[in-house]
Amino acid sequence: MAELTKELSKVKGEEPAVPGKDVRVHPNPELATKGPLDAPTGTPTVIVDDLHIVYRVYGAASESEKGNAVNALTRILKRQGRPQMKEVHAVKGVTFVAYHGDAIGIVGRNGSGKSTLLRAIAGLLPPHSGAVYTDGQPSLLGVNAALMRELTGERNIVLGCYAMGMTPSEVREKYQEIVDFSGIDEFVQLPMSTYSSGMGARLRFAISSAKTHDVLLIDEALATGDREFRKKSEQRIRQIRESAGTVFLVAHDLRVIEQTCNRVIWLHKGKIKMDGDPKEVLAAYTKG
Amino acid sequence: MSQPESAVADAQAGGRSGQEPLAKLAERYGLRRAIARPRFPVYMRQLWERRHFVLTYATSRNVSKYSNSALGQLWQVLTPLLNAGIYYVMFGLILGGKGNIENYPAFLITGMFVFTFTQRTVTAGAKSISGNLSMIRALHFPRATLPLAYTIQELQQLAISMGVLGVIVVATGEFPTWYWLMIPVVLLLQTMFNVGAALVIARLGASMRDLNQLLPFITRTWLYASGVFFAIHDKVVNGAGLPEWVATAMYLNPAASFIEWMREILIKSYNPDFGHHPPTMVWASCVFWAVFALGFGFWYFWRAEERYGRG
């Protein structure tokens, strides 16, 4: 913990990632009006205030710990704590304000904290410090919503819908729609462990997008499935966006972001490196 | 829990002196914290709204548990039957724990099945948060549904075990009486206790990883302290010569109380005064533990609701 405190202060001591910028002002007022969605109305829907996220990871091996009992005992005697428990500082002081009608793309390399940030906005990961304020209940539309692999697709659909808080009549109503949308047809009667990875991802996306959302967070959902499904899911996302206040989109496919977003945030090692016009940010991102 | 307070305060104050803090801005537009613990009554209502999820999740887990075995759901009956057989051979025939108990097979198997319900619920509850982290980090739902679902799953198993138990007890010469109508009442109280215990252990298990290693020893000690194989008073006071209050304390532990009450109901020859304790004491103990554990469990679990995702 002491180490973490040191690290925190170190992070703060560094230059702010977007210097001299007032987070309250939309970074891209001109383009916002030309964006694919309605112009931002100036009403904030998501406020992220100096957010730090620290994960605890168990089972990570460190230098001193090679997993033998003598080492473990000396460690306990010396009161060194548990080295198997490693703390990962995934998001280091991110601050921004998202407005009604914003469609924000988040880019960055693997491990830059994109998914962690989305989870924090969705209220699924408690912040270490700082805060996230949202309008209504944000929904994370991920490809890795955990379902039970040993069970049939049919049972997973019902279970997933209930977990999202649907009533039995809503589930009955949506069931066929989900099956049709996922396009897995007769496989719905088989356990999910027999599905190909694409089929599983399609079913998960179909389930999680069956509900209406206020603030929508999409994590790599477009990267899965074949071309036909991709088209279908892009259409579905556009549909949802029309009713949603704000959309966040994490994708490695930059074309998707350019087509759908009016603002792009570039995350680098847990901090915002750039925030603004998609063309500018994406150009800088592809360059370096 | 163990956040460096100074660093947190520092981080919040830093950077934006002289401007309206973002927290104020959020308040002005009526935005709420994304991760906040709802008030307790609201939380209980949310839990009630997820009752279908709890039931479906419990049933699904029971189905998937045996989906890889050839005999499938038949194991739900076979497992308690085999257990009963082993306990009888071990403790009834070989070790001779019978003492002066008249219907020992019924005595033993009743105790074992009742205890197993609580033991399995506690063991499952300890893993209910740490075993579902990916789900917790992907979906929004009141986390108490998980220990609750695990308890319901064990309750479904128990329903089958109770059927087996009824058959065995009748086979050993007992005959169903009007008292048997009390069985659901005892099971309801025990389930209330189990839900509370699962909730408490789920919160503990979420932060203390070593609990899973420790739990088998705790439950085994509990098993011996609950008089599953022997009559507590007979062994503790008459056998070991310990003072009377030790036996009373053992009878007041929740598992022993539920076991004693169930034996009184099922076995006609089992004299409530056999252990020199009035039946009302056992009944009161059962009711107390059920109400206390349920209330405390929900409150204790709810207090850490927003922290379960961290792992």
More confident residue, B227 or A35: B227
Rg over CA atoms, chain A: 21
Let me know: does B10 contact A12? Beta carbons within 8 Å. Answer: yes
User: What percent of chain B is modeled with pLDDT above 70?
Assistant: 89
Q: How many CB pairs under 8 A join A and B?
A: 175
Instruction: Identify which of A5, A146, A159 has the shortest CB distance to residue B4.
Output: A5
Let me know: does B197 contact B190? Beta carbons within 8 Å. Answer: no
| Closest Cα in chain B, distance from residue A146 (Å) | 5
Distance, in Å, from the CA atom of B113 to the CA atom of B226, rounded to the nearest integer, reads: 13
Let me know: does B250 contact B236? Beta carbons within 8 Å. Answer: yes
DSSP-based helix, strand, coil % in chain B, nearest 5: 75, 0, 25
Per-residue tokens: B23: 């927290």
Strand-pairing partners, residue A89, are A54
Instruction: Identify which of B4, B36, B134 has the shortest CB distance to residue A1.
Output: B4
Chain B residues inside the 8 Å CB shell of A135:
29-32
Rg over CA atoms, chain B: 24
Per-residue tokens: B179: 């008292």
B45, B52, B66: best mutation site toward chain A, by most A Cβ within 10 Å?
B52
The pLDDT score that the predictor gives to residue B291 is: 95
Report how far apart, in Å, the C-alpha atoms of B266 and of each of B103, B248, B253, B272 are.
Answer: 11, 22, 20, 12
Chain A residues inside the 8 Å CB shell of B8:
128-129
Chain A residues inside the 8 Å CB shell of B26:
44, 47, 49, 131, 133
Interchain CB distance below 8 Å, A134 and B67: no
Number of domains in chain A: 1
The pLDDT score that the predictor gives to residue B99 is: 66
Distance, in Å, from the CA atom of B269 to the CA atom of B166, rounded to the nearest integer, reads: 16
The pLDDT score that the predictor gives to residue A151 is: 80
More confident residue, B280 or B3: B280
| Closest Cα in chain B, distance from residue A183 (Å) | 23
Mind giving me the DSSP string for A174-232?
HHHHHHHHHT-GGGGGSBGGGS-HHHHHHHHHHHHTTS--SEEEEESGGGSS-HHHHHH
Where does the pLDDT of residue B121 fall: very low under 50, low under 70, confident under 90, or very high at 90 and above?
very high
Structural domain boundaries enclosing A85: 2-287
Let me know: does A229 contact A196? Beta carbons within 8 Å. Answer: no
| Closest Cα in chain B, distance from residue A95 (Å) | 9
A264 φψ region: left (φ > 0), alpha (ψ -120 to 50), beta (else)? beta
Interchain CB distance below 8 Å, A120 and B34: yes
Side chain identity, residue A92: K
Chain B residues inside the 8 Å CB shell of A144:
134, 138
More confident residue, A275 or B148: B148
Instruction: Identify which of A1, A126, A145 has the shortest CB distance to residue B306.
Output: A126
Where does the pLDDT of residue B293 fall: very low under 50, low under 70, confident under 90, or very high at 90 and above?
very high
pLDDT tens across B27-72, in order? 777 777 777 788 889 889 989 988 999 998 898 888 877 777 777 7
Residues of chain A with pLDDT under 50: 1-20, 30-40
The segment with the largest mean pLDDT, out of A65-69, B131-135, B270-274, is B131-135
Segments making up each domain of chain B, as ranges: 39-303
Maximum Cα interatomic distance, chain B, rounded to a whole number of Å: 84
Report how far apart, in Å, the C-alpha atoms of B138 and of each of A118, B65, B120 are.
Answer: 10, 23, 27
Q: Over 60: is that where the pLDDT of B152 sits?
A: yes
Interchain CB distance below 8 Å, A123 and B34: yes
Distance, in Å, from the CA atom of B112 to the CA atom of B105, rounded to the nearest integer, reads: 10
Instruction: Identify which of B32, B34, B60 has the shortest CB distance to residue A155.
Output: B60
| Closest Cα in chain B, distance from residue A221 (Å) | 13
The pLDDT score that the predictor gives to residue A197 is: 76
SS3 letters for B53-92? Answer: HHHHHHHHHHHHHCCCCCCHHHHHHHHHHHHHHHHHHHHH
Q: Three-state SS for A244? A: coil
Number of H helices, E strands in chain B: 14, 1
Nearest CA in chain B to A144: B138
| Closest Cα in chain B, distance from residue A156 (Å) | 9
pLDDT tens across A215-251, in order? 778 877 656 667 777 777 777 777 776 766 788 888 7
CATH code, domain with A159: 3.40.50.300
Distance, in Å, from the CA atom of B201 to the CA atom of B217, rounded to the nearest integer, reads: 15
The pLDDT score that the predictor gives to residue B228 is: 83
Q: Three-state SS for A53? A: strand
CA atoms within 13 A on the CB side of A176: 3
Distance, in Å, from the CA atom of A7 to the CA atom of A11, rounded to the nearest integer, reads: 6
Side chain identity, residue B145: T
